[in-house]
Amino acid sequence: MYTWKHMDNITDWQVLCTSKNVRCKSKLAGVNRLRNSRLIGAKELPPPYPNGWYGILESSKLKAGESTHMSCLGEHLIIYRSQGNKIYILDAYCPHLGANLGIGGRVVGDNIECPFHQWSFRGSDGVCTNIPYSTCVPPATKIKKWTSTEVNGFVFVWYSVEGSEIPWAIPKSVEVESNKLIYHGRNEFYVHCHIQEIPENGADLAHFRAIHNDNIVAECRNRKKNLLHWLGYHQWQASWSPLEDRHIAETRLNHIFKLFGKIQCFSMDVIGKQIGPAYVHLVLHSPTFGNFQIFQTITPVEPLLQKVVHRFYASRFMAPIMKFLIFGETVMFERDLNIWNHKMYRNNPMLLMEESSLKKFRKWYAQFYTVNSKSFQLETNTNW
């Protein structure tokens, strides 16, 4: 049975919704309550870890000469930044006596030094380069080195069970790279669902009206009891389609807010590019406030526990309004989260003709599973 003790180390903004939709002070209790109170549908679940790039750490969390341990994707990894500011990712455990290099390991140049016996491993290929109390290094002494890249404020690791698969390039945001748009804030959520269910929302066009029409200060499930509902509502037009680059799909949204249901006071166009199984780049344009961008990463902490991070970028003069926009996006995401945390996965859902985009999405997303992908049952080896 999986344990959840690592959840107690979570920092910043976390959201774990219980059946009463409150934010739990005890993360461990919140996750366990969700796990024990729902029907998972384990036999229908796809493999928990699709092949592709995963943004597993925000760049700002790791300075030159620092290292950290990361448990995700069914793996234990050490991520460290060399003195020359280059990121390396290796398996976490030393092949000597099993010490965790990410807990107390020391960065020396491009190498990571084991805290137990000071064996030193090179970041570029994982090869052991030095054992201080020996005149020679045993042949073929090395740790697995993971392919990684750093772009748009995140450290990405390439995960694939197919060793021959070549990683695609992650598009850079020109505006962020040139500092035309600067960082304004972030939010962070832990979602208890299969990873596929989160990006699938972009192709579920009918859910926008059902969940996201109510204004952000109204409680959508108690609209008759909340007078703030009458301040106005959001109106959405949405489309989803795969692009020529087979690993990229696109959601387009047109958003209008109608004050008191009559006065159009805010509009926004959104282009969301789903890049692989776990990364989304959102470009938003408002005629009133200009352009801003959001980057979303999903990291599978466990087969049915996803860490979702959003980072927000805009021009400097938008600083006052960005606090409100971050709040609004957080509220909208929480509405989805409350569904994800309590639903079961349907492998063969009863879809209507109007929901053809969902069927297309599942066909598109299936490319990230291959014959060697570990099944949910094999990966968990437990009863949920």
What are the boundaries of each domain within the chain?
52-159, 176-368
Q: Is the dihedral of CA 63, 66, 71, 72 positive or negative?
A: positive
Amino acid 5: pLDDT:
35
Question: Residue 52's closest CA among 157, 197, 138, 154?
Answer: 157
Per residue in 181-201, pLDDT tens?
999 999 999 999 999 999 999
Q: CA 126 to CA 112: how far, in whole Å?
A: 9
Q: Is the dihedral of CA 208, 209, 215, 216 positive or negative?
A: negative
209's enclosing H/E stretch is helix 206-212
Per the CB < 8 A criterion, the answer to whether 114 and 131 are in contact is no
Identical topology for domains 52-159 and 176-368: no
The residue among 226 and 217 whose pLDDT is bigger is 217
Per the CB < 8 A criterion, the answer to whether 281 and 275 are in contact is yes
- Tell me the chain's radius of gyration from C-alpha atoms: 22
- 36-45, 198-207, 212-221, 238-247: which range is least confident on average? 212-221
Per residue in 57-77, pLDDT tens?
999 999 999 999 999 999 999
Query: Which residues, other chains included, contact 222 with Cβ-Cβ below 8 Å and sequence gap of 6+?
Result: none
- Domain 52-159 annotated CATH 2.40.37.10: no
Amino acid 263: pLDDT:
63
> Please, where are the H alpha helices in 26-151?
27-36
Per the CB < 8 A criterion, the answer to whether 103 and 122 are in contact is no
Q: CA 381 to CA 132: how far, in whole Å?
A: 41
Residues shown for the chain = 384
Per the CB < 8 A criterion, the answer to whether 301 and 72 are in contact is yes
Q: Name all contacts of 76-80 with Cβ < 8 Å and 24+ positions apart.
A: 76/100, 77/102, 77/146, 77/157, 78/102, 78/105, 78/112, 79/148, 79/155, 80/105, 80/107, 80/112, 80/123
DSSP 134-158: -SS--TT-B-PEEPEEEETTEEEEE
Cβ-count burial of 270 within 10 angstroms (0-12 exposed, 13-18 middle, 19+ buried)? Answer: middle
- Within the chain, how many helices (H) and strands (E) appear? 6, 18
Question: Residue 61's closest CA among 158, 145, 155, 124?
Answer: 155
Per the CB < 8 A criterion, the answer to whether 189 and 15 are in contact is yes
Question: What are 90's strand-pairing partners?
Answer: 78, 145
**pTM surpassing 0.85?**
yes
- Domain 176-368 annotated CATH 3.40.50.2000: no
**Using 50, 70 and 90 to split pLDDT, how confident is the model at 10?**
very low
pLDDT (mean) for 207-213? 86
Per the CB < 8 A criterion, the answer to whether 93 and 101 are in contact is yes
Structure tokens at 207: 């859910």
Question: Residue 79's closest CA among 71, 87, 3?
Answer: 87
**Is the pLDDT score of 251 beyond 80?**
yes
**Using 50, 70 and 90 to split pLDDT, how confident is the model at 268?**
confident
